[in-house]
Amino acid sequence: MEVQPNRRVVITGLGVVASIGHNAHDFWASLLAGKSGINRITHFDPSDYGSQIGAEVLDWDAAAHMDPKDARRNDRYTQFGFVAAKQAVQDAKLDVSHENGDRVGVMIGSGIGGMHTYETQLRVLDERGPRKVSPFTIPALIGNMCAGLVAIAYGARGPNFGLVSACATGAHAIGEAAHAIRRGDADVMIAGGSEAAITPFAYASFCAMKAMSTRNDTPQTASRPFELKRNGFVMGEGAGILVLESMEHAQARGARIYCELTGYAATCDAFHITQPDPEGKGLSLAMNRALASSGLQAADIDYINAHGTSTPYNDKYETLAIKKVLGDHAYQIPVSSTKSMTGHLLGAAGGIESVICVKTIESGMIAPTINLVEPDPDCDLNFVPNTAIQKSVRTVLSNNLGFGGQNASLIFRAL
């Protein structure tokens, strides 16, 4: 087919697996209600850990949503991503056939990959020897397997890979998927992020970094972005997936279109392996470039879904970067961090937060930042404290930052 360059990209399908909802509908309802998905860890005994809390996906039966054999052979992160992708494809009413499969691609990333498989099989090696290690170990733990499994299930033979950029992964996957459509490499992309890192080794590692909240006695108030007494992020798990299409493809098949993805940019702080640039240079550059790529001005932004991890540095420096880019307009619009309810899903954060951006435009409701009692004086924007608000929203900016100084900004806009 003849492809026109720089095609418009629209969103036609949403899928979510998270602690506060196993589908987009339930997830969104929980966010608007200010529901926290954070509790004491049940996946393992956390008694010896500094942080003993997380936003787990409970009552999870992957075999109820996918082939039981595939569920057994694949890691928890792949299960989450596969099921969220299935939801998104169903929501989009997308039919992938032999005739159009060459024009459908998949980009689903994970910041860490199959950590459950990695830890389980290391124990098998240590306790039972090398001959007992599962032959499915490598396929289960590698970070591109979710994208591969989704493609196999639907016969999607277009561009396919799993991105890895820490906590910016999901947003990068969506942005790069949009680029693939604009270049003409595909008409449809299934894209987002998935993560399942609530495991003993991952927790021990993050605890050693002093990165996670130790507010173990009050888990549901532990994630408190932009709050003066915040003391670290809370781990979450799950997946967020979008179906992206070229405008002409979606219109030709009569698809329901949620909104358009108009802007995307990826930058690096080039400053520190874990700490954001204290002047917000890298994130400011990402936001400015996303605005430029969308043909919009700062004053066009109606709402920002912030990265807002509840760590001392991130929240302060992200606030600074937002004010640098938006100027006085930053004080006129709501900015919220939904990680206060979902926890931080690492590589999946950009995926579920993109779903939130789309639902915000669709519903005219903005999810709150819960647990915001005493704002940090350095974080002086309207962070939508504790209660959802109603507001007509046409344009949403979403930020995600990752270890290594990696930044991603996405802009979604109503048609």
Catalytic residues: 167, 307, 344
Nearest-10 Cα torsion for 236, 156, 260, 262 = 90
Domain 9-252 matches domain 263-406 at the CATH topology level: yes
Could you tell me the residue ranges of all domains in the chain?
9-252, 263-406
Print the SS3 string covering 247-259.
Answer: HHHHHHCCCCCCE
Q: To which CATH superfamily is domain 263-406 assigned? A: Thiolase/Chalcone synthase (3.40.47.10)
Query: What local confidence, expressed as pLDDT, does residue 3 receive?
Result: 47
Q: Give the DSSP H/E element, type plus range, for residue 390.
A: strand 389-390
Q: Give the DSSP H/E element, type plus range, for residue 16.
A: strand 9-17
pLDDT digits (tens, 9 = 90+) for 136-167: 999 999 999 999 999 999 999 999 999 999 99
Q: How far is Cα 327 from Cα 170, in angstroms, rounded to an integer?
A: 27
Total-model pTM: 0.97
Residue 382, CA distances (Å) to 230, 238, 322, 350 in order: 17, 28, 12, 21
Q: Considering only the top CATH level, what class is 9-252?
A: alpha beta
What are the 10-residue block averages of pLDDT along the chain, 415 residues in total?
71 98 98 98 98 98 96 97 98 95 98 97 98 97 97 98 97 98 97 98 96 97 98 98 98 98 97 94 98 97 98 97 98 98 98 98 98 97 98 98 97 98
39-40/303-305 β-pairing: unpaired
Q: Give the DSSP H/E element, type plus range, for residue 69.
A: helix 68-73
What tokens were used for 333? 């619009």
What tokens were used for 351? 């995926």
What tokens were used for 35? 């529901």
DSSP lists the bridge partners of residue 409 as 265, 399
> Are 361 and 394 a contacting pair, CB within 8 Å?
yes
Q: If you search the block for the tokens 């899928």, which residue do you land on?
A: 15
Query: What local confidence, expressed as pLDDT, does residue 5 receive?
Result: 57
Query: What local confidence, expressed as pLDDT, does residue 6 receive?
Result: 76
DSSP lists the bridge partners of residue 167 as 165
> Are 323 and 145 a contacting pair, CB within 8 Å?
no
Q: How far is Cα 349 from Cα 300, in angstroms, rounded to an integer?
A: 24
